Structure 1
């Protein structure tokens, strides 16, 4: 594989894998049976079947190890890897169980601990977001099949002039998030899973404060989609973009900005440490 083009080369095969996984997930959509994992998050048959399918399918298109939420690789196995698939086979399981359509399949390819390819697919609404490094970010509404000719180039969308709109989680808002929204007089829309970061890339929203826990597989795919659209995710502690393939798979809290907000009032305050 050519390191310079690996993200582009694997893009369409990975999209097809995500679409097929979406079909598998939807077969279980009306099944609300689940059990709790050790961290008290729910696990369904849809999570497991999507995981098994995607893991095996990725191995067929590229000899790259897979780190999935449902089968994480130990740090010793992945710490020195140049390439790593990072997978959440069903992001937003609570949204899946609530049957609100706000769940996604997230597939990211890391190169030297940073995402170079990202696929986010929402099976219930057929909404597909994807990006690869230096190739732009795109949205496609899937009908019978995927056709890249019908995709919207999110990188080329003009900035929208309006008061900033924030994204908030359907299930994971907390007091710190509410205080942030109130302090900056932000109206918020609620979305599930990685659709919040994708909404920023699509300019349906502008700022996403995530002031409670996420894992790397929750954000890696949508991170590059937002970045390639012109936006950015910034770590609350370092004020720098998130990094991946850490010994601890947890992300620090972060704030994400659509491209319209770069150098805006909230972004400038955050970067100067006075937010």
Structure 2
């Protein structure tokens, strides 16, 4: 039996563990690179271990897919699977910025049925259950209802190129938090056009959908989870009325990235 309150308690404790190592609170965790440009620190590993033990105790029948754990194909034979990024937004974490979150989703039959983002540096807990809506700190979320792409707000680091009709808003490093910004109405659109992993986006995809946003890959196709290859090419989250226009806007960048063989994470 799934106990959402128990899972939320685990997620929030994981956030506290990470917060206790966060440089923004004066700590100095050991950090290194798994690959060039792909940072990791001891908080990632500590939170991953805590979550695997704690979530495994709550639902021992569920499979496991995490950024910090070697993947095992046995997860494909389970009816349920945890999709976990222990610290999504590690670059912000190690820099002492608040744009990171613990991301936890539970998937069944290829779809998330529960999603939680614990962002303690921001004082936020985001929760969604399939068919039951989404909340942030207990307050119901309603996604952006923008009807035109012109002037749409998108998290980005700099102003878009000339001719691109988007308005930049603050961009946390966590892709999950950027997706959640559409769920909360703080952004109208989030788009990436390179390979990303299921653990990055599963929880936030459910949060956005339950708030009323549309979510797809960068081609406009539905996302699926707990696949043998746990990747998706890009993610597109938007107000429903602008989703197709947004897909068309990113189509050239998507095609260019595919031609170039881009395999970087989203």
Same structural fold, with TM-score higher than 0.5 when normalized by the shorter chain: yes
- Indicate if the aligned counterparts of 1:82 and 1:113 stay in contact, CA closer than 8 A: no
Any gaps of 5 or more consecutive residues in structure 1? 2-8, 141-150
The answer on whether the counterparts of 1:81 and 1:112 sit within 8 Å (CA) in structure 2 is no
Secondary structure of the structure 2 residue equivalent to 1:37: strand
Partner in structure 1 of residue 264 of structure 2? none
Distance in 1 of aligned mates of 2:160 and 2:230: 26
Which moved further from structure 2: 126-135 or 36-45?
Answer: 36-45
Q: Is the 8 A contact 1:210 1:253 kept in 2?
A: yes
With over 3 angstroms needed to count, the CA separation of the structure-2 counterparts of 1:39 and 1:83, relative to structure 1, is farther
Aligned mate of 1:47, from 44, 48, 52: 44
1:247 corresponds to 2:228: yes
Aligned to 2:20: 27
How far is 1:27 from its partner?
Answer: 1.4
Count of matched residue positions in the alignment of Structure 1 and Structure 2: 243
Determine helix, strand or coil for the equivalent of 1:191: coil
Contact 1:234 1:240 in 2 (8 A): yes
Question: Offset of 1:158 from its aligned partner?
Answer: 8.0
Q: 1:27 to 1:165 in 2, by over 3 A?
A: same
TM-score by length of 1: 0.80
Distance 1:41 1:139 in 2: 29
In the alignment, structure 1 residue 125 sits paired with structure 2 residue 105: no
Distance 1:69 1:268, change over 3 A: same
* 1:217 aligned residue (191, 196, 199): 199
- Alpha-carbon separation, structure 1, partners of 2:233 and 2:3: 29
TM-score (norm 2): 0.83
- 1:229 aligned partner: 211
Q: Which sits farther off after the overlay, 222-231 or 206-215?
A: 206-215
- Contact 1:165/1:186 (<8 A) preserved: yes
Match of 1:165 in 2: 153
1:192-242 deviations in whole A, cap 9, x for unaligned? Answer: 2011011100000010111233211000000000000011222223x2221
Structure 1 residues 259-274: aligned runs within 5 Å: 261-264=239-242, 267-268=244-245, 270=247
Tell me: CA distance 1:72–1:86, structure 2 relative to 1, closer, same or farther (3 Å). Answer: farther
1:66 to 48, 60, 64: 64
Shift of 1:108: 0.2
Q: Deviation of residue 269 (structure 1)?
A: 6.3
Q: Does 1:17 align with 2:17?
A: no
Give the whole-Å Cα distance in 2 for the aligned partners of 1:272 and 1:205: 17
- CA–CA separation in structure 2 for the residues paired with 1:158 and 1:187: 14
Gaps of 5+ in 2: 253-266
1:101 CA displacement: 0.7
1:187 to 157, 167, 170: 167
Distance 1:33 1:269, change over 3 A: closer
The aligned counterpart of 1:152 is 139
Structure with bigger strand share is 2
Quick one: structure 1 residues 132 and 199, their matched pair in 2 at CA, closer, same or farther if it must change by over 3 Å? same
Q: CA RMSD in A?
A: 2.5
Give the whole-Å Cα distance in 2 for the aligned partners of 1:274 and 1:87: 29
